[in-house]
Structure formats: C-alpha cells, structure tokens
C-alpha cells in the first residue's frame, strides 16, 4: 500500500515573552531584542499538523481529518488561543516559548493521540516569513 501524507491547518493568537530567567536582563535584551519586552508581544500563529500512513481499505482515509482537527483543537488551540504562553498554558510551564520549543511541546501534546497513522511533522508559522518544523526524534 502507498504511504499518504495528510495535513490539517489551524490558527491561534497568543502572547509570549522570550526570556531566560537564568540569564541577566542585559543578556536577554541582547539575545531576544523586542521579543524580550516585559509587556509581552503577540503573534497570529498558524499550525500545520501532518500525519502519514496507508489509506484504510474500508474508508480510504489515512486518518479522519475531523478526528485530527479535534485533537489539534483540544491539545493546542483550546489551551493556547488568546493566552499568554508564558503564564497560562500548563504544558509550557518553564519553557522558553520560542517557536522551536513550541513545536516540540505541541508534538508531545499531539503524538500520543494519533491512532492508525503516525505523526510526521508539525509546522508552526510565527509570521508569514518565520516557519519552524519538527519531525520528531528521527
């Protein structure tokens, strides 16, 4: 059977601050610039979750996209949308919420809930020009 890749897109809006509490304020300002603002800043994030597998001979689906949508909604959108990623999201506690760290955390939230297929990648668009992708520990 062929392996097919399916992708579901979603979006959320959130605020964050890039700040390493183990470093000095000067280091944080020099490293993160405006992203270190103590008053936070926000993004209109877009997430793309791709799963792969063989189409089920009975349904023709790799995975029902409605099921994938529900997983993304419950695990990522509901806790993150219109939230402060530093303060409001339990699974991000203690994490510097860079896009790189976010995609790994999102993977850990989504992957255990994928059935009958494998999580292939998560792309996070922080802006139209800044995109981060994670493909698990390959």
- Residue positions annotated with a catalytic role: 35, 82, 126
Range 98-101, long-range pairs (CB < 8 A, 24+ positions): 98/18, 99/124, 99/126, 99/130, 99/132, 100/132, 100/134
Q: Interior CA angle at 109 toward 132 and 76, to 5°?
A: 70
Nearest residue to 114 via CA among 59, 68, 48, 60: 68
The dihedral built from the CA positions of residue 30, 40, 91 and 14, taken in this order, carries a sign that is negative
Q: Is the Cβ–Cβ distance between 15 and 84 less than 8 Å?
A: yes
How many residues would you count in the chain?
A: 138
């Amino acid at each position: 059977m062929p392996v097919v890749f399916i992708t579901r897109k979603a979006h959320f809006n959130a605020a964050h601050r890039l700040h390493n509490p183990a470093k000095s304020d000067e280091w944080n300002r020099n490293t993160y610039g405006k992203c270190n603002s103590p008053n936070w800043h926000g993004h209109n994030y877009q997430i793309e979750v791709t799963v792969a597998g063989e189409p089920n001979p009975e349904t023709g689906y790799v995975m029902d996209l409605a099921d994938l949508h529900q997983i993304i909604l419950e695990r990522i959108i509901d806790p993150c949308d219109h939230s402060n990623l530093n303060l409001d999201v339990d699974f991000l506690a203690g994490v510097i919420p860079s896009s790189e760290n976010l995609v790994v955390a999102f993977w850990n939230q989504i992957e255990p809930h994928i059935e009958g297929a494998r999580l292939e990648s998560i792309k996070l668009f922080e802006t139209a020009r800044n995109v981060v992708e994670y493909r698990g520990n390959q």
